[in-house]
Structure 1
Amino acid sequence: MIVFDFRSRRQMMKIMYIVWPMIGLYFPIIGLWAYYKIGRKDSMKVNKKHDQMQHADKPFWQQVFVSTTHCSSGCALGDMIGAPIVFWAGLTIAGSTLYADFAVEFILAFLFGIVFQYYGMGMNKANDSHIADAIKTDALSLIAFEIGMFGFMLLAHSVFFDGLHPNSVLFWFMMQIAMIIGFATSYPVNWIMVKKGMKHAM
């Protein structure tokens, strides 16, 4: 539904064409509501003659929400790519597939999260100082997301169920819940960072 809506609404930041569908994917009901409530405020309405930009100042909680979507979408994408790689490659750390999952997913999530933040800052050309700014800006919120997500997946893997693997629907359902929890643990970190001026509001 979000992707279909893009046909009549253009996002001002191109990275949001990935971010909003990702939010809708793992945060289905609230993510869809958030797009129509918040995402459309940052869009341009497309008509035959010209683009009409719809702009409205967002409340602070919405600015923080959009800031959180950048790192969380990058993290989610890294996690969704990393889990199958570890499973199909048979990777382990200290004899544990779960630890290998965490390691590979964290690396990919961190990389994608920084890229999402980088383009969320409006950067188009690679620049060492800009990349450093993106890392400095988003590192804490990325780590907060992964702590929440990994914490739940550890419980799901070791306590709730006797092992989970990416070739099952249950794994991805638990991963979806874990990503929602990751968003929740990342949100207050983003709130503090935006409030203190360490991260720009979206």
Structure 2
Amino acid sequence: MLDRLAMVFILLGVCTSLMIVKDILRRPHPVRIMNLVWPITGLYMPFFGWLAWWFFARKSRQKSWLTPASRRQSPEIRQIFSSTSHCAAGCALGDIVAIPIVSILNYSPFHSLLLSHAIFSLALSFVFGVLLQFFALRQLEGFSIFRALWQAIKTDFFSLVVYQVGMFLYMELAFCFILHGQIEPRVLRFWFMLQIALFTGFIFAWPANKFLLQRGIKTVV
């Protein structure tokens, strides 16, 4: 039963992502890196990712997207969603790359498969998250390479850590009660649990991104 449910939600996620890609090819997002972020969002938000794209990005193509958060006191929902999805995309990429590394090695240097997965995922998520923020800052703010890189590190570290905490709190529960202590990429329920974990991380990271936007620390993307 769980595997059937997993197949439905995974297919819905893939279809949602493909629908967003199709629309992006005709109407690209003004912030170029978001053309990668939005399809990733669709993978862990089946159907709702499309609704978010439609109302928060496709219908809101104004210059306000390119306005720094420091000029705003109260960020709008679409801006918080966009910023959080930007953070989540880095974590999703890091997690997807970390899974085969842990699985192929079939060895846990930290005496726990989940802990090994968490550490590899956090490190890779930080790399991907900083890169995504770097490209956004280069376009939006026109920073030099080194300034954009330093700013990306400063602004993304907090939200990335909060996201990972939320994600792995859920994965710990799934690991104990559903996955039976195994990281097995060939099993559908594993990807389903990861899909839910990515969404859980999104919920955790929402207030963190709102905090950063309200104080002008993070740029609206």
Q: 153-162 or 137-146: which moved more?
A: 153-162
- Equivalent in 48, 58, 62 of residue 55 of structure 1: 62
Q: Which segments of 5 or more consecutive residues in structure 2 lack a partner in the other structure? A: 1-18, 66-74
Match of 2:215 in 1: 196
**Map of 1:13-52 to 2, 5 A cutoff?**
13-41=31-59
Identity of aligned residues (%): 36
TM-score normalised by length of structure 1: 0.87
Matched, 1:119 2:119: no
Q: Which segments of 5 or more consecutive residues in structure 1 lack a partner in the other structure? A: 43-53
TM-score normalised by length of structure 2: 0.80
- 1:170 shift after superposition: 0.7
Equivalent residues of 1:13, 1:122 under 8 A apart:
no
Equivalent residues of 1:72, 1:183 under 8 A apart:
yes
- 1:192 shift after superposition: 0.8
Please identify runs of 4+ aligned residues in structure 1 that moved more than 6 A.
none
- 1:62 shift after superposition: 0.9
* C-alpha distance in structure 2 between counterparts of 1:153 and 1:139, whole Å: 21
- 1:126 shift after superposition: 6.6
- 1:128 shift after superposition: 2.1
User: How many residues align structurally?
Assistant: 191
Equivalent residues of 1:92, 1:100 under 8 A apart:
yes
Equivalent residues of 1:65, 1:187 under 8 A apart:
yes
Q: Secondary structure at the match of 1:142?
A: helix
Match of 1:175 in 2: 194
Q: Which has the higher strand share?
A: 1
Equivalent residues of 2:84, 2:206 under 8 A apart:
yes
Matched, 1:106 2:90: no
Equivalent residues of 1:20, 1:39 under 8 A apart:
no
CA 1:5–1:23 in structure 2 vs 1: closer, same or farther (change >3 Å)? Answer: same
Q: Secondary structure at the match of 1:128?
A: helix
Q: Which has the higher helix share?
A: 2
- Equivalent in 173, 180, 190 of residue 155 of structure 1: 173
